[in-house]
Amino acid sequence: MKQYPIIFLLLILSFGCSQKKLSATLEKYQPLVHFSPGKVWNSDVMGLVSEDGRFHLFYQVIPENSKSGKLEWKRASSENLIDWNRNESLNLPEGAEGILFSSVVVDAQNTSGLGKDGKAPWVALASEPAKDELQKNVVDFGSLALVYSIDGGQNWTKSPSLPNSNPSGLEKCRFPRISWNDEIKKWILVGSKGDHVAFYSSPDLLSWTFESDFGTTRGAHGGVWESVDLFKLEVKGSDETQWVLAVSIDNGTLNGGSGTQYFVGNFDGHQFEYTGEKPKWFDYGKDNYAGITCQDIKYGRRIFLGWMNNWQYANIVPTEKWRGAATIARELSLVKTGEKYFLRSLPVKELDVLNEEASIFENLDGTDLLLSEKTGKLNGAARLVLRSDSLKSFTLSFSNTEGEEIVIGYDAATRNYFIDRTRSGKVSFEKGFAKKQLAPRISSGQAMDLTVILDQASIELFADGGLTTMTSLFFPNIPVTEMHIRSNEGFMLKSVEYSRLKKIWN
């Protein structure tokens, strides 16, 4: 069950500077290139909007950095999904404290009638906990609240209660997500009801009609179905489109704990049709949960941001600061392999603005390659891209002078990519934290490309053009500084691209 505040911890790799220099300039586990609101308890990303050439992010924090403190809503904005103006003004009406935004939309056509003086309203349909539940970790969802803004998300007004004519059960939807469906010219709401999702439609965001349910006998059910999302994507290399239904589950993923499964099928505005059997996963690492997407108006992309944490240990991670951050913003696409559809997830191109000291090395023997002898010791966040024409088993370790290491790699015998944080530093705080994480290789090609994003206490992998992704936190006692590739199978690297990434904090 989702708990509040979400005690995320976005740590991230503090590469090569000395511990003394690190403490003088940056804080331990402070994310350097990932969005984080600062030294506070941070909840999940609850709203993401693309409007007027900017992205607007809505999230919750507890300024006192304590689980028992008072939740506050914050917003941030960015032109490039990388550099964020944090803690922008956001004023909720009296009596709206504790509401949990799960969707923010721009009602461009003013279907709700809430706009004023030609200004399109921003509308959020949010879960409203019972008053006696506001300070508890487990939220009892009592009703839905509708709030709106006519000044671009700064000041919000609470609308009168939703009409009594709305169907029974709508108020029990957890974290409802809203989007405009241009095919039926209505708004679609999809919300979780514990072990399935329900679909509703509305012409005006006020009066809703129940359409259908999905999922009672589909997908993974090792935990509660929570945050959901529904969006349409074009299939790469064709004129075909498919709908993607994403469902976050608080337990029971392939590697344990929380994660996000997805289903690819048809949605006609009334029912979601899915013919697959086993669930697919957004990310096979332990620390990418309850993400949110939006349609980038400028470039027509589907953008994704996830939470880097897992409910197996979100409340007990070994740090009191920087508890909460998002993944690197990713662009989603859909590919068809045989008769199956798979999401492809890659860092947005805007990440390039952080590149510095880039270098490329070609035709390297990966049998025993101390890569940091070529690139220089790690010293901050970095991006690494490996390419090979013939994939073999290999490991890539990131280590420090205390013998701690986070290890990633590929096992050809099992066709699994993996992350191993057994000896990565602080691991004893939770019994399953050090367990090796596995991710199936989806691509059947002989060639491989692997993009790695490192920060002070996180690692993100994008294999085979983003067909297999993994995200993981780790907590080294001192920064990692060395990179070492090893293989017993004659692993040859066509090229290695390395670039330091500038920090986004001033």
Let me know: does 34 contact 326? Beta carbons within 8 Å. yes
Q: How many Å apart are CA 179 and CA 230, to the nearest integer?
A: 8
List CB contacts of 216: < 8 A, sequence separation 6 or more: 195, 196
**What is the DSSP annotation of 327-373?**
PPPEEEEEEEETTEEEEEEEE-GGGGGGEEEEEEEEEEE-SEEETHH
- Which helix (H) or strand (E) covers residue 67, if one does? none
Per-domain residue ranges for the chain?
Answer: 21-30+42-347, 357-501
The tens digit of pLDDT for each residue in 291-334 reads 999 999 999 999 999 999 999 998 889 887 787 789 999 999 99
SS3 content of the chain, % helix, strand, coil (to 5): 5, 45, 50
HEC per residue, 117-165? CCECCEEEEEEEECHHHCCCCECCEEEEEEEEECCCCCECEECCCCCCC
Residue whose structure tokens are 């705080």: 429
Q: How many Å apart are CA 248 and CA 253, to the nearest integer?
A: 10
Which amino acid is present at 304? F
From the candidate CATH numbers 2.115.10.20, 3.40.50.10800, 2.60.120.200, 3.20.20.370, the one assigned to the domain spanning 21-30+42-347: 2.115.10.20
3-state SS assignment for residue 21: helix
Would you state the pLDDT for residue 68? 54
Q: How many Å apart are CA 126 and CA 133, to the nearest integer?
A: 15
The tens digit of pLDDT for each residue in 336-369 reads 998 899 999 999 999 999 999 899 999 999 999 9
Q: How many Å apart are CA 455 and CA 80, to the nearest integer?
A: 19
Domain 357-501 top-level CATH class:
mainly beta
98, 115, 83, 108: which is closest to 46 by C-alpha?
Answer: 98
Q: pLDDT tens per residue, the chain (506 residues)?
A: 444 333 333 333 333 333 333 333 568 899 999 998 876 667 778 889 999 899 999 988 777 655 556 677 889 999 999 999 987 878 888 766 667 777 899 999 999 999 999 999 999 987 766 554 444 333 444 567 789 999 999 999 988 767 666 787 787 788 889 999 999 999 999 999 999 999 999 999 999 999 999 999 999 999 999 999 999 999 999 999 999 999 999 999 999 999 999 999 999 999 999 988 788 999 999 999 999 999 999 999 999 999 999 999 988 898 877 877 899 999 999 999 988 999 999 999 999 999 998 999 999 999 999 999 999 999 999 999 999 999 999 999 999 999 999 999 999 999 999 999 999 999 999 999 999 999 999 999 999 999 999 999 999 999 999 999 999 999 999 999 999 999 999 999 999 999 999 999 86
Q: How many Å apart are CA 51 and CA 150, to the nearest integer?
A: 13
List CB contacts of 272: < 8 A, sequence separation 6 or more: 199, 212, 214, 230, 243, 245, 263, 265, 266
3-state SS assignment for residue 104: strand
Which amino acid is present at 45? V
Q: Which two tokens stand for residue 345?
A: 């997830």
Q: Exposure string (b/e) for 108-120, b if CB count within 10 Å is 16 or more? A: eeebbebbeeeeb
Cα–Cα distance list, 455 to 24, 151, 438 (Å): 18, 36, 21
Cα–Cα distance list, 371 to 258, 364, 500 (Å): 34, 10, 14
Let me know: does 452 contact 395? Beta carbons within 8 Å. no
Bridge partners for 188 per DSSP: 179, 201
Answering whether pTM is above 0.85, one says: yes
